[in-house]
Amino acid sequence: MMTTVEFAPLKSTITGAVFGPRDPEYDDARSIWNGQIDHRPAVIARCRSASDVAVALAFARAHSLEVSVRGGGHSYRGTSVCEGGVMIDLSAINVVSVAPSAKRARVGGGATIADLDKATQEHGLAVTGGVISDTGVGGLTLGGGMGWLTRTLGLAIDNLVSAEVVLADGSIVRASENDHSDLFWALRGGGGNFGVVTEFEYRLSEIGPEVHLGLFFWGMEDGPAALRLCREVVPALPRNAGAMVAVSLSAPPAPFVPDQFHLLPGYALLVAGFGSEVEHSNAIAPIREGLPTLFEFVTPIPYVGLQSMLDESEPWGAYAYEKALDLVDFSDDVIDVLTEQAGKKSSPMSFMPIFPLQGAFTSVGEDDTAFGGSRTPHYVCNMTATATDAGTLELDRSWVRETWEALRPFSSNQGGYVNFMTDVDEDRVRASYGAGKYARLSAVKAKYDPDNVFHLNANILPA
């Protein structure tokens, strides 16, 4: 039974809205991207400032209530919505302020990638984001933050300058290389374990507003050859190009896809070019020459269009589940597993996006940030089950788990990327960071959140 809480005192002390189960706005406020999540907080505090967050945390402490934090709401695990506790909703803290001459952006903790890109692209600037535009900036960044610009600019955390954080005791601090440097280190990859980040400050780079896209699609029968081609061409791409390998991707019913291939499952390589049209053409030439495709799509595209082009594959309200692991390469053994599993999905929305972590990603030292995983070149293989109904999701949840188990012997990190970790347990979290980095994170956790208030995440236990 859900806890009944008298929250009138909270309503009178914060500037944002407060919702309880009897309020008409409650169901909409507690809904997030993953449609299978149906958690019911005792109270939702839609904060408008760091001070509001501090008040909401004090209210939770006074009533011994669990705390969850909702940023963009693009949550597979559903941990942004607690059951019977206080949900701190940051969606109203979504303002993005850009200083073009300094190439800096201050971004509210409730902003989405779409909010960030819209503001920065007005000045031809960008920072590494995800590949789905309604992803929250906060959750993406705190776990690392990979996207189309990873090979060019590194992870989102590699471009983070500072962060405003509301700590468990309600104090508000600014963490950077010079202030609370231990906390700043932990925020860059350690997830939401250390406080509520109400503002991120990023270093921006000149990207867009027009970039280039190359999409190459092969049928299921060409899977082994397509993955061997990816093994050759992706590491050789120039630094100003991003890429994604997609296994068991259903061709979209888009105008650039011939009608006979609509929803046909296959293999795709997507290459985003951030240089000139000539540079992009040279970069994709080996792909065109390497293996005939069923179709290709090569075009200039607005950067904001690149950032949102996969949104329809992950629509709001879909039922979803995911697992991931790190792979050094597309070895023959890995290719055998991927091609064997590729045809076993049930939903046309399910697929395996594989992200290359190369280029600028490798320029950052192993211990410079708390990112879980090696800084040597590798791939993050994400297996995502997405469906419109619970029955199909269960079928593809089994497909994801079976594929993950089959790939485990070839994984370079048995924990995997924390942002792609739906099933969270202590052993996997420890494995993701490694013993030394986990111990360091645990010490920071003990300093800033000794009571583990922020535990609805890939949780790091206080030392």
User: Read out DSSP for 83-152?
Assistant: SSSEEEE-TT---EEEETTTTEEEEETT-BHHHHHHHHHTTTEE----SSTTSBHHHHHHH---STTHHH
d(CA 145, CA 130): 7
Q: Do the beta carbons of residue 257 and residue 213 sit within 8 Å?
A: no
Pairing relation of β-strands 265-273 and 241-250?
A: antiparallel
**Residue from 268, 304, 269 nearest 284 by CA:** 269
Q: Do the beta carbons of residue 386 and residue 316 sit within 8 Å?
A: no
Whether residue 436 has pLDDT greater than 90: yes
- Paired tokens of 77: 């695990």
Q: Do the beta carbons of residue 242 and residue 151 sit within 8 Å?
A: yes
- The predicted pLDDT at position 87 comes to 98
- The predicted pLDDT at position 2 comes to 55
**Residue from 351, 109, 350, 151 nearest 237 by CA:** 151
Peptide bond just before 258 cis, omega within 30 deg: no
Pairing relation of β-strands 160-166 and 196-203?
A: antiparallel
The single-letter code of the amino acid at 141 is: T
d(CA 281, CA 298): 9
Would residue 73 be called left, alpha or beta, if left means φ above 0 and alpha means ψ between -120 and 50 degrees?
A: left
Cα dihedral value 202, 207, 211, 213, nearest 10? -40
Q: What percent of the chain has pLDDT over 90?
A: 95
Q: What percent of the chain has pLDDT over 70?
A: 99
- The predicted pLDDT at position 263 comes to 96
Over residues 10-29, the mean pLDDT reads: 96
The contacts of residue 312 (CB under 8 Å, 6+ apart) are 252
User: What is the distance in angstroms between the CA of the first residue and the CA of the last residue of the chain?
Assistant: 33
**Residue from 41, 33, 50 nearest 139 by CA:** 33
- The predicted pLDDT at position 445 comes to 98
- The predicted pLDDT at position 415 comes to 83
- The predicted pLDDT at position 180 comes to 98
Over residues 25-30, the mean pLDDT reads: 97
Over residues 95-122, the mean pLDDT reads: 98
- The predicted pLDDT at position 425 comes to 84
Note if the pTM is more than 0.85. yes
- The predicted pLDDT at position 106 comes to 98
Alpha-carbon distances of 160 from 50, 156, 176, 199, 322, rounded to whole Å: 19, 7, 9, 11, 27
Whether residue 7 has pLDDT greater than 90: no
- The predicted pLDDT at position 414 comes to 76
Over residues 2-14, the mean pLDDT reads: 83
Q: In this predicted model, what pLDDT tens digit does every residue of 45-94 receive, in sequence order?
A: 999 999 999 999 999 999 999 999 999 999 899 999 999 999 999 999 99
Question: How buried is 401 (Cβ within 10 angstroms: 0-12 exposed, 13-18 middle, 19+ buried)?
Answer: middle
- The predicted pLDDT at position 3 comes to 60
Q: Do the beta carbons of residue 115 and residue 140 sit within 8 Å?
A: no
d(CA 4, CA 1): 9
Q: In this predicted model, what pLDDT tens digit does every residue of 150-204 receive, in sequence order?
A: 999 999 999 999 999 999 999 999 999 999 999 999 999 999 999 999 999 999 9
Question: How buried is 183 (Cβ within 10 angstroms: 0-12 exposed, 13-18 middle, 19+ buried)?
Answer: buried
Whether residue 1 has pLDDT greater than 70: no
- The predicted pLDDT at position 352 comes to 98
What's the whole-number average pLDDT of the chain?
Answer: 96
Alpha-carbon distances of 332 from 6, 223, 337, 339, rounded to whole Å: 60, 12, 9, 10
Whether residue 308 has pLDDT greater than 90: yes
Residue whose structure tokens are 């952006």 = 105
- The predicted pLDDT at position 311 comes to 94
CB atoms within 10 A of CB 4: 10
The contacts of residue 338 (CB under 8 Å, 6+ apart) are 223, 227, 247, 330, 352, 403, 407
Q: Do the beta carbons of residue 248 and residue 343 sit within 8 Å?
A: yes
- The predicted pLDDT at position 373 comes to 87
